[in-house]
Structure 1
Amino acid sequence: MKRVFVVTHTHWDREWYTTFEVYRQRLSILLSQLVSILKTEDTFRHFHLDGQTVVLEDFVENDGTKEEFFELVRRGKIAVGPWYVLPDEFLISGESFIRNYLYSQQVAKRFNVPLSRVAYLPDMFGHNAYTPTILKGLGMEWAVVWRGVDDVKGTSFVWSSPMGEAIDTVYLVHSYSNAAHWGQDEEHFKSHLLSEAKLLTSLDPENEPLLMNGTDHEMPRPDVGKILKEISNEEMKFVHASLEEYVSRLKKPRESLSGELRSPKRAPILKDVLSARIWEKLMQYEAERLYLHYVEPLFATAKLGGIDLPLESLWYGWKLILQCHPHDSLCGCSVDEVHKNVQDRLARAINHGKAILVRALLEMCGKPVDKMGITLFNPTESEYDGVVELNVRLPEGEWRLVSQDGRPIECVLFPTEDVQKDLNTLIDFYSHPSTIDVFKDQGRWYRCFLKTPVQGLSFKQLSFVHGERQKAGTFESIFTIQQNGTLKAKHDGKSLENLCYVEDVEDVGDEYNYSYACKEKYDSKNCIAEIETLIDSSFFKRVEARFSLEVPAQIAADRKSRSRQTVSIPFRFVYTFHRDMKRVDVDVFFNNTAKDHRMSVVFPLKGLSELISDGYFGPVKRSIQKLEGDYSSWSELPENQFPTYWFVSVPQYRMTIVPKGLREVFVDEKGLHLTILRSVGWLSRNDLITRPGHAGPGFETPQAQGLGEHKASFSILLHDDYDIENVYKAVRECAIAPLAVQARFEKLPRIDIGVEKGFLSAFKPSEEGVILRLFCPDGSEPSMKTTRRAIEVDFAEEPLSEKTKIKHVKTWLIH
C-alpha cells in the first residue's frame, strides 16, 4: 500500500491585490479558526504556515500573544519558518537571504517556538543559481520548489550550485496548490485528491505522492483529516502530515539539476517583474548597499573596539527591508497602494540606516574636532583609488586638500546650490547640544571631488588648508562622445560605436510580463545631442549629452498598435570618465511622458554567444539561445532575458556593465539591452502574446506607468586582463566607494583584520562577536588574517560542520 502525504497549508502573500492591513484581518480569522480546529478535530494533525515567521509578528500585533496558538507551534502541530518572509531570489543579495533566516531565528526565540528545517520556497519566480549554497550553509537538508524546474521526470532531484554545493529537493510538479479545496463540495474535493495522487504516482512510482492542501490565503477545511480516512483504500493510504514527515520518507533523488532554475516551460516564471516599477528596485539596491557595506561594517568596527552598539537598531532597519522582499512586494506586481507602502518602508529603512551610521561614527570617533577636513572609510577588502564625491561647506577663500603628513591631494571644488541634507547634516544634528548651531551659516557649499588611495578596511583623514588650488589639467579618455550622445571606443582590437543609445518599444503586458503588439521601435541613434563639458580636471571628466526622443503617447485603443499621438521624452546622459581606468560612469535622467512602453539602453555588440552575471556567491554563465522552436505549449515564451545584480559581463568584448540597481538585461539582434523603465497599467491581463492567461487579478495599476522624473545609473568597464577575479575587483571598486563625511574626529579606529584571499561578503556584528565572510568567485578557498581569536562558523553563525562547510565561502566569528 502506497502512502499519500497530504500537507494542509495556506500560501500567505502578505500584500498583493489588497493591502497588508486588509490581509492581516483574514490572517487573524484563519489562525483563530486553526486553533479551534486543532483543539476539536483529532484527525486534523498538522498545518504548515507557509514557511514564514513574519505572520507570527503580524498576528500578535493584531490579536495579542495567544498562548494557545504558540503552544500548538511548540508541540509541532503548526510549522513555521525557516524564513522570516518568502523572498524573491533575483532582486536581493545572498547576504539579505541570510539576514532573512537570522531574523527569523530571532522571531522564533522571542516566541519560544521551533523553526522548520525544510527550506520551503514554493512560489518564487525562479531560483538563484547559488540558492543551494545558501541552504547548505544554513544546514538545511531538503528544499521544496515549484517554478523554474525543467528536465526532471519525477518529483525530487539533487540541486547543485555552479560550485557544487548540493541539496536534496522536492519538486512541486503541479504547484503548491495541487490539492487545494478551492471551496469545492466534499465529493468534488475527494475526487480531486484521488486523481492527483494517481497522477503523481504515475509520474514517480518510487516516491510517495505529496499533496499540498492549500493555496493563496485559503482557509483550512476542518474535515480534511476525516475525508482522508474515507478515501483511503487498499491501494493508497492518505496521511495528514507535515513536510518534515514527508521528506523523512523520501529516497535519495536519482535526478540532478545544476545552477539557476528559471525555465518557463512548465510554469510561468513571470520574468519581467525584474523591471516592473523599476524605481522600487533602485530604492531596494540603495537600502541593501547602505546596510551591507556601510552600516554593518561600522557596527562591526565599533564592536571590535569594545563599543557595543544596540543590535536592535540594526535589526529594525533590516526588518523594514526584509518586509519588502516578498515577490508580490519587491517584484512590483501588486496594486498601487501596496507599492506606496513598499516605498515608504524602504525610505524609512534608508533614513534609519543613515542615522545609525552617523551615530556609530560618533561613538567610535568622538565628536568632530572641526569641519576643516574629510574622513574616509573604505569598507571593502581592497585598496580604493578612484574618485570620491561629497558635499562640503567651507568659509570664503581658497582651499586645498592635504593628507595627514601634508602631501597634496588631488581635489576639485565646485560651488553648488543643489545641496542635499546628507550625512554631514546628521553629524551636526547629533553632535551639537543646541540645534540652533546646526543651521548656522557656516560658509559656502561645494561639490567636492577627490582622488586618494584608501587601504581596504581602514579609515583615512584629510585636511583643508589655505592655499591656491591645483591648476586644472585634462586627460584623454578611451571613450569619446558622438554627435548623437552615444559613446565610441576602441578596445581589444574592436571598434565600439553607439554605446548607450536608447530604444523604445510598446509594452502591452502587465506587471508580470512584457508583451508586444506590433514591435514598433524608436531609438535615439539619429538624435542630435547638445553636449556640454561640466567638469574637466586632471583625474576625471564629466560631460553631459542632452536630447529628446519622440515616441507614441500610449498604446492604441485596440491594443494592436501604438497611438498616433506622440510625446517627447527629454534625456540627459551624464558621463564621468576616469584618468587611470577604462571605465565610464553613466547617469541617465529622463522625464517619462509616455505610457505602455519599455525603454532600454543598448550596447550594440554583435554575435553575442555568452554572458556572465553574478549569483549570490559566484558567477553565472548564460548562453544566448537561438529561440526558433515551437513554444506554444510553454507556460511563458522563452527569451534571452536575464537577471543581474552586481554586473553583467561580456567575455567576447572584455566588457562589463555594472547596473547599480537595474535588474534586467536582454539580448536580441541589436545587442545587449539594459532595461531602464517598463511602463504598464495593469496588475495582470489575459491577452498577452508572451504568457497565456492571467497571473493575478485583472486590476488596473496606473502608477505602474511610472510617469514623471527618473534616474538610472550604470558603469561600463573595459578589461585588459579578463578573468573572473579581475571582473569582481573592478565591479566592487565601481559600486562600493569609500564613505566620506566632512569632519575631522578626535580618533580613528583601526581594524586589525586583513583579507589575504577573496572578496568581503559580510562584516557585521553578532551577539557574540563579529562575523566576517569571504568568497572566491573562481572556486578557490578564501583566507584572512587577524591577531584576534577566530573560529569558523556556518551561515547560521553556528559551529561549522562537514555538512555546512563550503570551500569557496568561509565565515568566521571573531572575538
Structure 2
Amino acid sequence: MSESAKTVHVISHSHWDREWYMPYEKHHVRLIELMDTLLGLMEADPEFRSFHLDGQTIILEDYLQVRPEMRGRLEHFVRNGQIQIGPWYILQDEFLTSSEANIRNLLIGLQDASAYDKVSKLGYFPDSFGNMGQAPQILRQAGIDTAVFGRGVKPTGFNNEISGSYSSMFSEMYWESPDGSKVLGILFANWYHNGMEIPTDPKQAALYWKTKLQDAEQFASTPHLLFMNGCDHQPVQTDLSAALNTAREILPEITFVHSNFDDYIASVKAALPEDLAVIHGELRSQQTNGWFTLANTASARVYIKQENQRGQTMLEKVAEPLAAFAALAGKPYPHHLFTYAWKTLMQNHPHDSICGCSVDEVHREMMTRFAKSFRVAEEIALESMTAITSSIDTESVYEGQDAVPFVLFNSTGWKRTGVVVTDVDIQRLPIGSQDRESLISKLKQINPGDYTVVDPKGQAVPAAIEDLGVTFGYDLPKDKFRQPYMARTVRVTFHADAVPPLGYRTYALVRQAEVEASTGSNAADQAHDSREMENEFLAVRIQNDGTLHVTDKRNGRVYQDLGAFDNTGDIGNEYIYKQPEGEQTLTTFGHPAVISLHEKTDFHTSYDIIHEWEIPAGADERLVEEIAGFVPFLERQAQRSEETVTLRLNTRVTLEQGNPFVRFNTRFNNQAMDHRLRVLFPSDVEASVLRADSIFEVAQRDIQPSVEWVNPSNAQHQQAFVNVSDEEGGVTVANLGLNEYEVLRDGRNTIAVTLLRAVGELGDWGVFPTPEAQCIGEQSCEYLFIPHEGGDGRMESFAMAYQEQVPWMSVQTAMQPGALPAEYQFVEWSGANLALSTVKIAKSTGDLILRWFNTTNESAELSWSSSSEVRWYKSNVIEEPGELLPEGSCKLSIGRAEIVTVGGVSKDE
C-alpha cells in the first residue's frame, strides 16, 4: 500500500439474505424494522450520508409491500443518492441459476431501479458461492466496469480465516472473462463486516481501529481503505456519525468518510498501482484445501434444483420463444406476465435458497413459488401455440381425409429428433348437446385402432396409440362462458424426425385406410430377452450387474461399466459433503440386477434395471451428539450405522432411433439418511481437463486439483452437461437438474453425477436441524450418456444436451385454412460452436432479441434470418439498441467466448 495519507471509507449496508436460518416472513418483519429505522435516521441525522441496499431491488418490493405509505420518503433518499439500489433483482447463486436467469436478474433489477431514476452500476457479488467466469463480459456489456465480491480468489477457511497462497497480492485486481473483457475487481479481503459496530467510546475505538486498520492495510494497494459497516441482517448503526467523529478525534492523521461505492471506487481508481494482478475466468477458490468452496450446495436438496431447471426452461426456452413467434404473427407479447413469472421464480434464486442451505420451511415455500411460476409460463406457452396454430393451413394438407391435426413445436436452436408423447382428442362433443348417456355412447363407438399418425407429406410416422377412453375437458373462449365437453382421447407416442429448429411441424391422426401402413425397423426384430439395443449409431449390451457396454458404431470405441451406482455416508451439512473417516465406498459393480424388457417399438427400445441394494440406514448415534454439540464437521468421528435399509433403484434405459445417446431415468424411494448416491460413467479417455456447461460458456477445468487441495472429493458445478474427451472423441453426460459432478481420479476418468445427498443440518454458524434435507421419499432423476466423435462431434453432443433440457410442446388444432404452412421455421441461423441462448421480445423496445454464445476460444461466423421483414442491430445483454447492421446483413464475426445479442426492428416501424 502507498504511504500516502490514508482515507477510511465506511460504507453502511446490511447483507439481506431474504430467507435462510429463519423463514422468509420472519426475516421480512426485521427488514421492515431496518428500513423504518434507516429512513428515520436519514431524516434526523444529516451526517448519515449513505446506505448501500445490498445490490438487490427486491428489498424495495418487500418493504413497500408492507409499508406502501413510505414510498415517497424512500424515493426521496434514493433519488438523492443516499440509498443506493440495484443493479440486481436478487443476489443469486450464479452457478445454480441458468445463463438467461442471470441476465433476467440484471434486466429486471435495472428496470425496477429505473423507476427511481438511480441505479448503482456496480457488479455486486458479496456472498456468491463462487463467481461465474463470464461476469466481467456481462457487466461490461451492461455498462459496468467494477465488481466487488467476497469469495473465489483468496484461500479462505471457516469463518473466512485466511491461509495459504494468494491469487492476488491485493484486494484490488483486474478480473478478465474468457473473451478478454476486463473489470476492476475488489475483494472483500476482510469480508463485508470488517467495519460493523464501530465503537463511540474513545478507548474501545482505539483498540478497534488498531486491529481493523492493520487488517485492511495488509491487502490494500491504495491509501483508500474499505470498511463495510454491516453484516448479514445487521441492523443500521444509528450512532455511526458519533463513532466516526470519535475516530477522527483519536486518529486525526486519517481521513474518515461515511462513503459509498461510487466515491470509494473513484478514489481507488485514481490511486491504483500499475502492477495489479489479473485473475481469469471462474472464481471457485481452487487454490485452497477444498473444504470451504461450498460447491456441495449443488447437491443439497436435489429436488429443488430439478424444479428450478424445469421452471427456468419453461420460461426461457419454451414460453419466451413461442411468445416471440406468436408476436411475429401479430399476438401481443405478454411482458407483464413474463415479469411476474420471472420474479416469482427468481425469489427462489438467492444463494441460501437455491443452494438448498436453509431451514426446511424456506424450501417448502420455494416449491410453491416454483409451481406458480411454472403455471404462468405454461399458460403463456399454450396461448402462444394456440395463436400460431390458428393460422396454420391444415385443410390443404389433409384435404378430404378424416384427419385430426396437431402441431409439434421445437423451440430449441437445432433440428430435433426424438420420441414424443402427446394426448389428442379424436372427437369432442359439447356437454349439453345431447343427454349424457347418448354423448358417452357415441364417443365409445370410436375405434382408436383405426387411426395412425401422418406427417405433412402424408407419410405414416412410426407411432403407438393408447386409448384413454372418454374424458372430460373444457375450453375457455375469450368472448363467452366456459365450454365443457366430453372427448374420446388417445395418447400418441411417435417418432419425430428432424423437426425444424425454432419452428414446428403439423401431424395428424388419420384413418389407416387412407394411408400406407408404417414399416418396422431392424430394432423391432431383435429377440426380446437379448438385453441388447441397437440403432444406427450405438450398440448397447446390458450386463448382469445392470451396467451397460456401449459401442459407438461410428468409430468403434467401446465404453464399459456404464451406469453403476456408488453410495457413501455423509456427516457434513447442507453446504459441505464429508464422508466418514475410513469408510469404504459401496458400489453396485458386480451385484446382480433384475433386468427386463419394458418396451420395444419401431422407434425405441427400453429396459428396466432393478437393484435391491442394502445400505446403512444412516449415521450412527454419534452424529446426532456431534451436531447437537456443535462439533465442526471436520472433527466429527461419526460412522455409518450397522442397521441397513433397502434402496430399490429402478433405472429405465432407452435407446431411440435417430439419436446417438442412451437415456436413463432412475427412480427410487429413499429411506436412508446421511448419505450420498451417485451414478458412474467411466470415460476411459486420457485427458487432463474436462469441459462443463456453465454460465454462457463451456468451462474448461483441470481434472487434477491444485497442490493445496486436501479434500478427498473434488465435486464441482455443472449446468446441462460435463464432458471428457480427446481429439478422437469422448463422452458427454447430460442431466436435468443434477448440478453436481466429479471426474474421479481413478485411472478411468469416470464421470460421477450426484443423484441424492441426504443430510440433517444446515451447518454454518449455528445448530439448525433440517430433517427434510434428508430427502426421504420418492425421487426421480434423468440423465443421458452421449458418446461422440472427434471434430464437430463434441459440439454436436453439447447441442443434444442443450436440447434435452427442453420439453417437446404440442397442441391440437382444427381443419382450417391459414396463412402459415404445415411446417415452418421462424428464425434460421448457423454458426459452428455457437449455442443459441434466447429468443424473446425486448420490453424496452418491443424488438425481437436473439442471443448466442461461443462455446470455444476460437472465433466463429454467425448468420441468421427471420421470417419477418426486420432491420437488425447489434445489441448487448441488457437489450440496448446499438448500431444498425448494413441493410440485408445478417452476419457477424464472433470472438472467442463472446456473448452476442442482436435486435431486430420491424421495417414497418
TM-score, normalised on structure 2? 0.82
How far off its partner does 1:107 sit?
2.0
Give the residue type in structure 2 aligned to 1:223: D
Bigger Cα displacement from structure 2, 578-587 vs 751-760:
751-760
Distance 1:734 1:205, change over 3 A: closer
Distance 1:608 1:205, change over 3 A: closer
How far off its partner does 1:776 sit?
2.3
Give the residue type in structure 2 aligned to 1:709: E
**Residue of structure 2 in register with 1:691 after alignment:** none
Show the 5 A alignment for 1:20-419. 20-66=24-70, 67-110=72-115, 112-150=116-154, 151-181=167-197, 187-188=203-204, 191-232=207-248, 233-251=251-269, 254-263=276-285, 265=288, 268-366=292-390, 372-394=404-426, 395-396=446-447, 397-414=449-466
**Residue of structure 1 in register with 2:725 after alignment:** 651
Show the 5 A alignment for 1:454-533. 454-467=499-512, 470-475=518-523, 476=534, 477-491=538-552, 494-518=557-581, 519-533=583-597
Measure, in 1, the Cα distance between the counterparts of 2:177 and 2:339: 29
Distance 1:616 1:626, change over 3 A: closer
- 1:443 counterpart = 2:494: no
How far off its partner does 1:445 sit?
3.3
Which of 878, 881, 893 in structure 2 is aligned with 1:799? 881
- 1:809 counterpart = 2:870: no
> Any idea what SS the aligned residue of 1:175 has?
coil
1:226-278 superposed Cα distances (whole Å, 9 cap, x missing partner): 32232133442111100111111123572111111011639933121000000
Show the 5 A alignment for 1:388-787. 388-394=420-426, 395-396=446-447, 397-414=449-466, 428=475, 435=482, 437-438=484-485, 440=486, 442-467=487-512, 470-475=518-523, 476=534, 477-491=538-552, 494-518=557-581, 519-559=583-623, 560-606=638-684, 609-625=688-704, 631=710, 637=711, 639-652=713-726, 654-670=730-746, 671-684=750-763, 695-723=764-792, 724-736=794-806, 738-744=808-814, 746=816, 747=818, 752-757=826-831, 758-767=834-843, 768=845, 769-778=847-856, 779-786=859-866, 787=869
Measure, in 1, the Cα distance between the counterparts of 2:403 and 2:757: 44
> Any idea what SS the aligned residue of 1:453 has?
strand
1:1-46 superposed Cα distances (whole Å, 9 cap, x missing partner): 2111110100000011111111111111111111111112222111
Distance 1:76 1:592, change over 3 A: same
Give the residue type in structure 1 aligned to 2:704: Q
1:405-453 superposed Cα distances (whole Å, 9 cap, x missing partner): 3122232334579x9x9xx968x45689665634x1x225324122222
Distance 1:748 1:738, change over 3 A: farther
Measure, in 2, the Cα distance between the counterparts of 1:185 and 1:482: 75
Measure, in 1, the Cα distance between the counterparts of 2:459 and 2:488: 25
Bigger Cα displacement from structure 2, 508-517 vs 156-165:
156-165
8 A contact 2:477–2:483 mirrored in 1: no
How far off its partner does 1:371 sit?
8.5
Bigger Cα displacement from structure 2, 74-83 vs 664-673:
664-673
Measure, in 1, the Cα distance between the counterparts of 2:578 and 2:815: 55
8 A contact 1:474–1:536 mirrored in 2: no
> Any idea what SS the aligned residue of 1:282 has?
helix
Measure, in 2, the Cα distance between the counterparts of 1:372 and 1:615: 42
How far off its partner does 1:81 sit?
0.7
> Any idea what SS the aligned residue of 1:558 has?
helix
Moved over 6 A (4+): 182-186, 367-371
Measure, in 1, the Cα distance between the counterparts of 2:403 and 2:480: 16
1:107-156 superposed Cα distances (whole Å, 9 cap, x missing partner): 2244x241100111100001112222221221111000111113111011
8 A contact 2:687–2:725 mirrored in 1: no
Q: What are the ranges of 5 or more consecutive residues in structure 1 without an aligned counterpart?
A: 632-636, 685-694
Measure, in 2, the Cα distance between the counterparts of 1:658 and 1:570: 23
> Any idea what SS the aligned residue of 2:296 has?
helix
Give the residue type in structure 2 aligned to 1:510: N
Distance 1:575 1:433, change over 3 A: farther
How far off its partner does 1:533 sit?
1.9
How far off its partner does 1:332 sit?
0.4
> Any idea what SS the aligned residue of 1:785 has?
strand
| RMSD of aligned residue pairs (Cα, Å) | 2.7
Distance 1:766 1:32, change over 3 A: same
How far off its partner does 1:752 sit?
4.8
Give the residue type in structure 1 aligned to 2:240: V
Bigger Cα displacement from structure 2, 182-191 vs 450-459:
182-191
Give the residue type in structure 1 aligned to 2:616: P
> Any idea what SS the aligned residue of 1:209 has?
strand
Measure, in 2, the Cα distance between the counterparts of 1:371 and 1:700: 59
Distance 1:105 1:5, change over 3 A: same
- 1:13 counterpart = 2:35: no
Measure, in 1, the Cα distance between the counterparts of 2:801 and 2:706: 31
Distance 1:626 1:313, change over 3 A: closer
Give the residue type in structure 1 aligned to 2:412: T
Give the residue type in structure 2 aligned to 1:812: V
Measure, in 2, the Cα distance between the counterparts of 1:340 and 1:83: 25
Work out the number of aligned pairs and report it.
790
> Any idea what SS the aligned residue of 1:725 has?
helix
Measure, in 2, the Cα distance between the counterparts of 1:745 and 1:794: 42
Distance 1:812 1:302, change over 3 A: same
Measure, in 2, the Cα distance between the counterparts of 1:143 and 1:465: 60
8 A contact 2:9–2:258 mirrored in 1: yes
Measure, in 1, the Cα distance between the counterparts of 2:692 and 2:263: 38
8 A contact 1:776–1:782 mirrored in 2: no
> Any idea what SS the aligned residue of 2:813 has?
strand
8 A contact 1:43–1:226 mirrored in 2: no
Measure, in 2, the Cα distance between the counterparts of 1:207 and 1:665: 43
How far off its partner does 1:734 sit?
3.3
8 A contact 2:314–2:377 mirrored in 1: yes
How far off its partner does 1:347 sit?
1.1
Distance 1:435 1:527, change over 3 A: farther
**Residue of structure 2 in register with 1:692 after alignment:** none
Q: Which has the larger radius of gyration?
A: 2
Bigger Cα displacement from structure 2, 639-648 vs 715-724:
715-724
1:675-704 superposed Cα distances (whole Å, 9 cap, x missing partner): 0000001011xxxxxxxxxx2331101000
Measure, in 1, the Cα distance between the counterparts of 2:338 and 2:708: 51
8 A contact 2:403–2:510 mirrored in 1: no
Bigger Cα displacement from structure 2, 278-287 vs 364-373:
364-373
